[in-house]
Structure 1
Amino acid sequence: MGETLLIINGRILTMAGKVLPGGCVLIENGKIAAVADQIKIPEGRDTEVIDASGCLVMPGLIEAHCHVGITEEKKGMEGDDCNENVSPITPWLRALDAVNTMDAAFDDAVRAGITSIMVGPGSSNIVGGQFIFIKTKGRRIDDLIVKEPAAMKIAFGENPKVNFADQQKSPVTRMAIAGLLREELFKAVQYQKKKQAWQASGQDKDKPSDAPFEPDFRMECWLPVLEGKIPLKAHVHRVDDIFTAIRIAREFGLSITLDHCSEGHLIAGELAREGFPAIVGPDLSSRSKIEVQNMAFKTAGILHKAGVLVAITTDHPVTLIQSLPLCAGLAVKSGLPMEEGLRAITCNPARICRVYDRVGSLEPGKDADIAIFSGNPMETFTKTMCTIINGNIVYRAENF
């Protein structure tokens, strides 16, 4: 798996607290083997040397919330598998079964230095289904998986209201959205308790179980959420929706990510005290709905300064995936510190998506997902010179 590569002479930005002005990165068997000022070419192995003189070498960029491959470009309904919008509660759906790796957006991502993405259902339903965290290069989705399931999508506000009002069925109010979600989570908790009791009784081999139990496919998908293995991924724009999402998460003792968080800057102190991370954006799009009327690039900076862990999202195809570094740059222009802009598209989304053990920084033992840029990727005229995923060169600019 992967080639033996040695990157030399680059400005190495590890995103783990170390910057090497003219350093090296050694890649072996798809993993980062070493990061240092000087690394000798390994003996006895064919090693390709990549001279990154004058370039910035950093972890591959990460998109923490998008619909690449599940809402394909230019294919209309045939290529749109994002929302099973005839039922408000569909937790058993898996993005794994709907992402088309032949979508052109995957190639756009690779050419932009984006090496991994969090992909999942949209926000037409209260519960949309399971997200998946994957790499951006390959034809078989099963081979791209980093974490699956990676999160459970839930949505508040306009999208489920409008979708089901048009169908003349509940929910048509924010009260109903919250009520139906609570009902579903209550049932999931009861199912978990029943299963745990059955499992406990089965430990005594001499005593038959007196608690009959039948697995429920619909409920099983909630167990990773209830056990804290994956978070709720909440579509929230308005202040009231943000607080409702947090309220319900607290009621059931669940972890949550606040996706979009368009009015987060209005309640930054409160969110910092709550301690949940925010995935901010897509701010490079029109204010097409009432709930995004206060959307602004300043949100990320204000949240960060308050102490919230922040990632930037394009929400592709709302904003195109390749604009991810530009969105981070515009957030920096509006107050997010430069270093945090880079963190918001590398190590921060890796932490938020719970895959930091594999991606998000250049450290020995992690996946060799690396982007080499002609300069700061958040600047408009910067070019992607090389993209490496799992130790394989998947994109290389001409004359590099």
Structure 2
Amino acid sequence: MINAMLKKAAMIAIIVSAASAVSATDLMGGGASLPGVAYVGDNFANTTPPSRLSTNIALSAGFGYMQTTPNMDSIFGIFEQNNPNHTVSYCQTGTSLGKQILLGGSGRSAYDDCRDYGASSAGFSGLVALPDFASASAPLSADDIVSFQNGNQMERTNLVQVPALGVFLTLPINIQDDWGYPISYVDLTTEDVCAIFDGNARVWTDVGVPSSDQIQVVYRSDGSGATFAFTQFLTAYCNSGLIPTFTTEELYSDAVSLSIYGGRELGAAGDMGVINTVKNTVGAIGYAGYPSVATEPGLAYALVDGHDPANGGFINVDSNDILIDQVLGGVDDRTGLPLSTWLETSLGDGCLAMVDPEVQLQQVYPIVAFINLLTYTDNNSDPAAIQALFNEVTAGSSSLPEGYARVPSIVVANIIDNCIN
């Protein structure tokens, strides 16, 4: 009798163990680097070179990438504590590449940035990737929808997009006075920022900074939501004349002609790429997420019109600011500012939401980006796990590093609950 009971208990243990193993999921995602500090903490910034891949999964080194694990108090760290059967792997490719991998755009691969997950169709950087989610600091566009229709729609039916976080962008600087000492306090007016990035200011004295250093402009060389937000700011405040100098784009070289800098420009990939280039270049100024800049001891940044992103106030988004079933529809030919357009396809099913781009220009601190979470409506590897992750990002219990804010909305919560199947 006892042996029979022991055998029965052992059988139950095996069944429970098997069920647990089946339910365990490593959610594979990637995309924007702006949310990196919120998602995984500052561990990724503490490797040399900075890590593009964050994961708790044991992976063999190779392919020239660096990897790290999420901090315990980060969003992914809290998610994994609350959901002990699940882990999250995140590849920081930049917004444009991240979107295209999720959408199934042809010829796009994250192989150079992260481990090759080619052995698994669920991976983020395989040749035929069907990732679980992506993050993008610029909303989906009409062109992105076409990429999806020609790519992963056959496998995953429709798309989900929800705004999740707002983040302040700042202008990291590396300026020395004429005696070689670093200048740590710089307060630029909007007009000064325009003069620097439209190429009219060539040395720092041109904008009232006591340094004869030549200005070196550091920009994101990869497609980036940080570039989308920053060029929207430049487009809104720096254009004059009939032909705009700036347009709002994810790729900086599409937003402005690099020839205006006369060779004083340096491109770098990712938030940390910009930050490290600024750190290593005297006279440099760039743009990056404030939380990433704050991870670098001694790195100075410029205030804008007296506003400091370290105490930039709240990021305010009203429920009326969230647009449903609208995507980016290009830019206005006259102003260069982004336009939204209604979906004209079957994708318009109430599952795509974005913050009205104009709201980025209406915050107290003037340079703000919004980070979106993307996934599929159907045929996901583990819908419950994806819902739990999205809820943790958008409405979770983890405290956010300075410079971030959640975008709370019952609309977002309803989309997560109703659209991820």
TM-score (norm 2): 0.23
